[in-house]
């Protein structure tokens, strides 16, 4: 009725392998790495980074070249610290933009290279930035702009209250 030592050893090995597989799965789903890639840190300041969070991708021409490592405030603007992989050169005229993958997808940082010959080094700042497009703000502006068209309708109705038809003047 008791398990032999061999059976206990086999069950123990399977249990350890199961825990290792679970740890690897947890790290990959959580987008965590035990040993980060070698690279350097660049900074950029934005007016709005709505939805961007640490761990999000940084892409150059659709290829992942790094990750967002820290987000904070500096001089009342959002400041993003980006870890760029070694071997990737970003020039001084590059543009950093917060983009969305899909309509309601995750946010990521997109880098567009510029014409400069000067390459940014560890700790430098990308000067040209483009803030995130916030769908809710755009819808709000659309609603507010369409509501302002109602004022001209009031003007037309006030003319008809005076016994005039809209567009006709008194003679």
Q: Write out pLDDT tens, residues 22-81.
A: 998 888 887 666 666 789 999 999 998 888 899 899 999 989 999 999 999 999 999 999
Backbone angles phi, psi at 30, to 5 degrees: -85, 0
For 67-123, the three-class secondary structure string (H helix, E strand, C coil) is: EEEEEEEECCEEEEEEEEECCCCCECCCEEEEEECCCCCCEEEEEECCCCCCECCCC
Q: What is the pLDDT of residue 159?
A: 46
76 and 53 assigned to the same domain:
yes
Domain that holds residue 109: 39-137
120 and 70 assigned to the same domain:
yes
Q: Is the dihedral of CA 42, 100, 106, 79 positive or negative?
A: positive
| DSSP-derived 3-state class of residue 29 | helix
Is residue 66 within 8 A of residue 88, CB to CB? The reply is yes
CA-wise closest residue to 46 among 117, 134, 119, 115? 134
Strand order in the sheet with 57-60: 125-126, 39-46, 77-85, 63-74, 57-60, 107-112, 95-100, 128-130
The mean pLDDT value of the chain amounts to 82
96 and 23 assigned to the same domain:
no
Q: Is 62 domain-assigned?
A: yes
Q: Is 113 domain-assigned?
A: yes
Q: Tell me the two tokens of residue 141.
A: 């502006």
50 and 30 assigned to the same domain:
no
Q: How many domains does the chain have?
A: 2
Span 91-134, pLDDT tens digits? 999 999 998 887 777 889 999 999 989 999 999 999 999 887 76
């Amino acid at each position: 009725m008791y398990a032999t030592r061999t059976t206990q050893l086999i069950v123990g090995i399977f249990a350890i392998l199961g825990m290792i597989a679970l740890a690897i799965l947890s790290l990959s789903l959580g987008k965590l790495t035990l040993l980060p890639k070698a690279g350097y840190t660049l900074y950029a300041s934005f007016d709005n980074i709505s939805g961007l969070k640490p761990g999000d991708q940084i892409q150059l021409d659709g290829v992942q070249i790094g990750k967002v490592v820290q987000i904070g405030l500096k001089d009342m603007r959002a400041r993003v610290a980006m870890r760029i992989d070694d071997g990737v050169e970003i020039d001084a005229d590059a543009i950093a933009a917060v983009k969305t993958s899909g309509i309601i997808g995750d946010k990521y940082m997109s880098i567009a290279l510029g014409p400069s010959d000067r390459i940014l080094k560890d700790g430098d700042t990308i000067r040209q930035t483009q803030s995130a497009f916030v769908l809710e703000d755009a819808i709000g502006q659309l609603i507010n702009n369409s509501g302002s068209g109602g004022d001209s309708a009031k003007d037309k109705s006030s003319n008809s209250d005076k016994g005039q038809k809209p567009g006709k003047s008194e003679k």
